[in-house]
């Protein structure tokens, strides 16, 4: 069965890139740096991944988290695989600031939203390319 992105994720995000295991998405809310990794797998839970897939997801999540922490002025980094509304396995990487709209609460289910301008999405796509190049090189070295 070919990979298909859940329509709710597709409707709320911009595609940034394809990593070895995951599609990297940007939540369309410029109020926070909020990236989402979606593994191209048919399982819905982390424990259902093979050991190799779990390692790859961990590597990709770590690379994206390091990018968010280094590229944005944040106070805290939230990383979570929560899928009560969207069952498709996905991992949120959210940079938080003490002055953001939801601090110290969760960002899920909030109505505050500022869509990204197209040029800002293009800039983030370009900035993540460096992270992706490093992740692809790491993956090749590990094989």
The structural domain count of the chain equals 1
12-44 residue pLDDT tens: 999 999 999 999 999 999 999 999 999 999 999
d(CA 130, CA 22): 16
Q: Residue 1: inside a domain, yes or no?
A: no
Q: Virtual CA dihedral for 62, 97, 113, 104, nearest 10 degrees?
A: 100
Helices (H), 41-89: 51-71
User: What is the reported pLDDT for 132?
Assistant: 72
Residue 2 within any structural domain of the chain:
no
What backbone phi and psi angles, to 5 degrees, belong to 131? -60, -45
Q: What stretches in the chain show pLDDT beneath 50?
A: 139-140, 142-143
Q: Say how many residues make up the chain.
A: 143
Q: Is 87 helix (H, G, I), strand (E, B) or coil?
A: coil
Per-residue pLDDT, 138: 52
pTM of the entire structure? 0.91
User: Which CATH number characterizes residue 70's domain?
Assistant: 3.30.428.10
In a domain? residue 50: yes
Give the C-alpha separation, 27 to 108, whole Å.
11
The pLDDT of residue 140 is 47
Tell me which residue range forms the domain holding 17. 7-102+110-142
Element (DSSP H or E) covering residue 131: helix 118-142
């Amino acid at each position: 069965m070919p990979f298909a992105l859940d329509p709710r994720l597709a409707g709320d995000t911009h595609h940034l890139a394809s990593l070895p295991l995951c599609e990297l998405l940007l939540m369309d809310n410029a109020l926070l740096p909020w990236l989402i990794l979606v593994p191209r797998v048919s399982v819905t839970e982390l424990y259902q991944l093979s050991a190799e897939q779990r390692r790859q997801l961990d590597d990709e999540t770590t690379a994206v988290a390091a990018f968010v922490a280094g590229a944005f002025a944040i106070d805290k980094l939230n990383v979570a695989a929560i899928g009560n509304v969207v069952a498709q396995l996905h991992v949120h990487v959210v940079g938080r600031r003490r002055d953001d709209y939801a601090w110290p609460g969760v960002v899920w289910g909030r109505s505050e939203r500022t869509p990204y301008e197209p040029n800002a999405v293009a800039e983030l796509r370009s900035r993540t390319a460096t992270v992706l190049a490093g992740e692809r090189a790491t993956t090749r070295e590990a094989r």
